[in-house]
Amino acid sequence: MSARPRPPGPRWEDVLEGDELKGFTLELTATRMVAQVSGTQDFYPIHHDRDFARQAGHKDIFVNTAFIRGCLCRVVTDWIDADGFLASLGFQMRRPNFIGETIAVGGRVKRKGPGGRVDLELWIENAGEVTVPGTASVILPVRS
């Protein structure tokens, strides 16, 4: 059985300000969180040791910065596909995302610029609250 070819990512000319990026949701399970900590070698106990996190004043363990960056990069790179280029990414961690929660990651086109540039608004939300707002700039292919 062969894989179906993916349609190409968007072209600059086809993108409109306000277009939504296809987002995704993730349940923050213990397995997912500990695997990610292990993969990034971020062994600070607040991300995997419940007693340590609680003694530090948090309700439980929470995802680390690399997890957040990975989620935001995924929503962008899934949208731009292999023909686009992620030029910049920025975000603010406003509230931790804890084990047992389900996050939603999304984005939209904020502005189109010259040379294939597209500025994006990104976010991670939890129960309707944006916990991580972000931005990205990408370069999309331009039709010749």
Instruction: Report how far residue 8's alpha carbon sits from residue 131's, in angstroms, rounded to the nearest whole number.
Output: 31
**Predicted pLDDT of residue 143:** 87
Q: Average pLDDT across each block of 10 residues of the chain; the chain has 144 residues. List them in order.
A: 70 96 95 81 78 93 92 96 95 96 98 97 96 98 87
Q: Which two tokens stand for residue 54?
A: 């609680």
Instruction: Report how far residue 61's alpha carbon sits from residue 30's, in angstroms, rounded to the nearest whole number.
Output: 9
Determine contact, residues 44/62, Cβ cutoff 8 Å.
no
**Predicted pLDDT of residue 144:** 73
Instruction: Report how far residue 27's alpha carbon sits from residue 102's, in angstroms, rounded to the nearest whole number.
Output: 4
